[in-house]
Chain A
């Protein structure tokens, strides 16, 4: 009797001790260490393929977003249809408002921006699924100018800064960039 009780208590204790770190590690791995988690579960193939597909779709959406925004900003057209092909709200509205602001001041964006994005986290189990992207955006050649005389808008312009963005999977399967920020305080 006593032996069985002890054994039961020990099992319970073990379970509690084990459960806490396992839960913590599991959720930690989800975000930051997914390659290790993939190897751990003994079936690296299927989840790996899903993750790679998600990464690719997210990076495609990110580069599509930058290209669409460049086109729309070059024309100062907040309603450019390509924007909604790659961007979702709330970022979509923010980008549109920013383009409209420039348009109302007679300004357009010219030049090119250089991007070198990487994926920092993949959360396929989250609802909705998201992919976090980090980029060192080189904006030195991307200027805000007045349309009529091509004069650079005073106070505008940027260098190389860290940029972060989130790609989210929507019910129709599309991956779209729905939030993003340029960290001007973090040069890269």
Chain B
């Protein structure tokens, strides 16, 4: 990487340097734009209801009262701690849906890339076509199907549809066909390894960056999903964070919070809910940044 950098910047002439200044100004402006709502969220989560609407520091600066700790305490105790339950639900849905979708994608991607079987091309063509099907168009019919099976308003109504990830399969297929050489698999077979063993011991270790990427993308997809759980779930005990916070917002804007302003809870709740994924992206950045390159290739 450093070699590339050196090679690229070597012809250091004057207009180039000016352009760098412009580039930095552009980046600073972009960072400002992308950070402003998050900054606002951090600042606002330290205010109480009064400070939020008529505080001393304005919307983008701290109030003289610092209420972060009270807000957090209130967040986790409001209405018998329903926020904590939503948080647990989000974790349950995101991990079971995300891990399930990833396992299915890895297996299918490997199968498509490394085996020739009857119907393979037809199946893959169907899969590519399905990437273009708007998934939300399926939510209402899935709801009706699930209600025939009496499965709506259960955790399965959210987890099972989240297992569908045609794009994950597509990514894994592209990555597998590049990262796992046929010769390596054949060599393992010649040594007497079974097909399962070839997959687990030879192919799987080579697929790690793509697996992390697909896992992260599907966890994010499920964690951030709103339409599916909103449709499927009616008892608020099962809500994930997105639907729960949406419910609070509706209550707050129609003033049904039981005399209590819910806005500061919504704000601190939003802040707490985005922390896990931000940590996940920061700690795993090397993996997903290289893995995402796969999708853009081909």
A and B: bona fide binding partners: no
